[in-house]
Structure 1
């Protein structure tokens, strides 16, 4: 079957170039790369043995869900392999996903290893990436078998996943009512689960996440997290992103008043310092920050 790689991009030129180099190194070449370009300018990218189609969506106000759906609708492959712009596919990435999607109509989620700052300065060295890449402590490891069952839709993560195009279009793709950061992945997982489509962890289909500074929990996106958690509640009957909301509550940023999430103060420099990923860390950890906040909570309550 034919394979389309789908990604979204806004800035991150060097990251996208590395993604394309990773696709050029594939054991099984994709049939195309489709880029949802969330800016006015198209990208100047390396030559490839497969077509690259850049779908220009404009510079402002483009929703992540809208861009993903646009890439999926523009794709011509029977299999859709979604990869974030800051990821580099392992040489077996396409072959691993294509083999499994040929056999099973399911939502597949491949492996992700995180690279430290500077890991790509001297080009792509996949052997070194496999040794130095770090698994996220808050994500499930690869299954023992080629495919493993995932029983919790909240585990869905759009960073690296694959699905048959016909299935994606049948369920309607991502809900474009989510604006900004947070919520749309969990909503998509719920849509997939409600539609009766199997969730599978995939052994292999590995991607290497390129370093960039980040905040976890994402205090820099607190407005959209609150709005999108509320949209999820209105749609499904309960809030999502509960761990982030718990952290925001312990930080004194958010309160639940009459069943509604309310931001009670602005994010401060101290909040940003607490949640900021350090340069020696390959990824930011919400669990680490939340554990620190939970440990502090009794002392604060007693003061």
Structure 2
């Protein structure tokens, strides 16, 4: 099964270097790599310095505009399919692949029965930045997968029934299943909601959720506030898109936290959540995290 890795990126060049190096460790599973640079011409320079064979697809994103994460993934997938990909592996630029990640995804997809699936691997969030010299063996010592998701034994596949746990930072899907789903909804712009929407569409079309033991990734540290107040406007806009499409509000944990902080309020007249003040609230959220925990 011809395998393609799809990565979207803007900035995070140090993370991109480690991302590319991690994939290079797997010498057992041939793959092509498609990197979608969202308004970031430096990506090609970074890849050249790493002597990476990844194909770069550049899309124009004006400075200050919301990143088109959903559209970028769709563009990367379309290019991979054009080059004959049969298995699409989506891996966030912040993620360093464990040596068996591609192998385990390929094994899982090769054993796919009549029911199509979204295949997800465990992800460990690293508690601090890693050095350029960090090896896969060193990362393995930090193995501590996210506790809210299933973590099957290596080589085992466990079906899941909570599609809200799906995450787009590391997953695989066969080409026929991807085409049946039609990709990510491109109405979502910026941070939040597009992966929950994708999983909901998969569930409604009878695509199962499968957790793949051994398809591990290590999410590189970067500071993010919790809740992510810097993405408040994107989250509100995307939440409205989700509510219109599915009749419920996503990212409820974040919405509750924003409401508790007095940043948003539900407006009955418009039947939606609205920002209620513009003052900076960074001081209200001194705790810093490096992961999304809306699930």
- TM-score, normalised with respect to structure 1: 0.86
Secondary structure at the aligned position of 2:168 is classed as: coil
Residue 271 of structure 1: CA displacement? 3.0
* Unpaired segments ≥5 residues, structure 1: 288-303
Q: 2:128 is matched with which residue?
A: 117
Is the 1:220–1:272 contact (alpha carbons within 8 Å) kept by the matching residues of 2? no
Residue 283 of structure 1: CA displacement? 4.3
1:11 aligns with 2:5: no
Which of 77, 96, 100 is residue 92 of structure 1 equivalent to? 100
Residue 272 of structure 1: CA displacement? 4.2
Cα distance between partner residues in 2 of 1:141 and 1:151: 11
Question: Judging changes above 3 Å, is the alpha-carbon distance between structure 1 residues 235 and 54 closer, same or farther for their aligned structure 2 residues?
Answer: same
Which of 279, 286, 294 is residue 273 of structure 1 equivalent to? 286
Cα distance between partner residues in 2 of 1:241 and 1:40: 29
Which of 55, 70, 76 is residue 71 of structure 1 equivalent to? 76
* Unpaired segments ≥5 residues, structure 2: none
Q: Runs in 1 of length 4+ with deviation above 3 angstroms?
A: 282-287
Which of 175, 183, 197 is residue 165 of structure 1 equivalent to? 175
Question: Judging changes above 3 Å, is the alpha-carbon distance between structure 1 residues 236 and 286 closer, same or farther for their aligned structure 2 residues?
Answer: closer
Secondary structure at the aligned position of 1:116 is classed as: coil
Residue 122 of structure 1: CA displacement? 4.6
Residue 40 of structure 1: CA displacement? 4.1
Question: Judging changes above 3 Å, is the alpha-carbon distance between structure 1 residues 185 and 283 closer, same or farther for their aligned structure 2 residues?
Answer: closer
How many residue pairs match? The answer is 278
Which of 174, 177, 195 is residue 205 of structure 2 equivalent to? 195
Residue 94 of structure 1: CA displacement? 0.8
| 1:281-303 residue CA offsets vs partner (Å, 9 max, x unmatched) | x646569xxxxxxxxxxxxxxxx
Q: 1:53 is matched with which residue?
A: 55
